[in-house]
Amino acid sequence: MAAAKMDDELRLFMSYLQNERQYSPKTIASYQTDLLEAKSFWQDNGGFNGWTEVKTRDVEIYLQNLAQRKLARSTQSRKMSSLRSFYRFLTRRKIVKIDPTQTIVLRAKDHKLPQFFYAPELKQVFDSLHGSDPLTMRNLALFQLFYTTGMRVSEVSSLQLDQIDLDLKMILVHGKGNKDRYVAFDEQSKAALDNYLNNGRLKLLKIGADSKVVFLNKDGKPLTTRGIEYVMQKVFNQAGISGKVHPHELRHSFATAMLNNGADLRSVQELLGHINLSTTQIYTHVTMSHLQKNYEQFFTRNDKKDEAK
């Protein structure tokens, strides 16, 4: 496939994502890769006369090619989303008159239900994290905070000391797209945080400037998202939770617990920092699945029971 080069429209869009949307370099790179791939495909298959000349049929043929390559449905959706965002930008800037993606509808994919932990499993993990070792104190505070706030792993890894109000039990979270929100935490999380901040963190700090990042690694440096994933896998497996685990499952656990205990969907949406309610609605399927299992367990028309009457 011929290498595609950046053109004026793409440069404008990348600048928009960086300066106005304030997306991360990784997200911007993903958009750029998707758009350059589409451009390369059109160049190699009949020519490319500029983004303003792309028609709906061109987009449909490109999507057919993605499907023929047997790419994951999520990958196809992401690439289509990149094209939609790009052409929405070009239309609003009046660079193109007609958005070639606006009439294209992707077949809805089957959503996987989010994986989450049950309360007894998390208690098992928390119970395993008791001791005066600074890393143990850190891990207890870390996973307590994940579970009781529903924060993203990126939000936890970049969390600064001045974002936490221990008295009010509130955290100011700097979320995706530079959107701030407040989340609350409970007494148990407060106790774990207080212990870690006043004892464990001080022992982890090395000589030099304090980054003010809440969670540190054994070398006194900020604990990265990859580091959190590694620590979680090790801690959960040692506590008897088998299989592969991921911090996002703690976020799912928070949302599921909130809904199971009667929270309304809008409140959960706000706490999770979801822009669209539809993103939060996936958790209603989890709770409904949970209710269905309970129903089948406790409301069974069992012939043996009927015979015993």
Point out the residues that are catalytic: 152, 176, 248, 251, 274, 283
Q: What's the rounded Cα separation, in Å, for the pair 144 and 168?
A: 17
Tokens 């309610």 — which residue?
Answer: 277
Is the Cα dihedral 193, 194, 199, 202 positive or negative?
positive
Q: What's the rounded Cα separation, in Å, for the pair 39 and 59?
A: 10
Residue 264, SS3 per DSSP: coil
Q: What's the rounded Cα separation, in Å, for the pair 293 and 278?
A: 24
Tokens 């580091």 — which residue?
Answer: 227
Partnered with residue 165 across adjacent β-strands are 170
User: At residue 96, what are phi and psi to the nearest 5 degrees?
Assistant: -120, 150
Residue 300 has which token pair? Answer: 């069974």
Q: What's the rounded Cα separation, in Å, for the pair 122 and 252?
A: 13
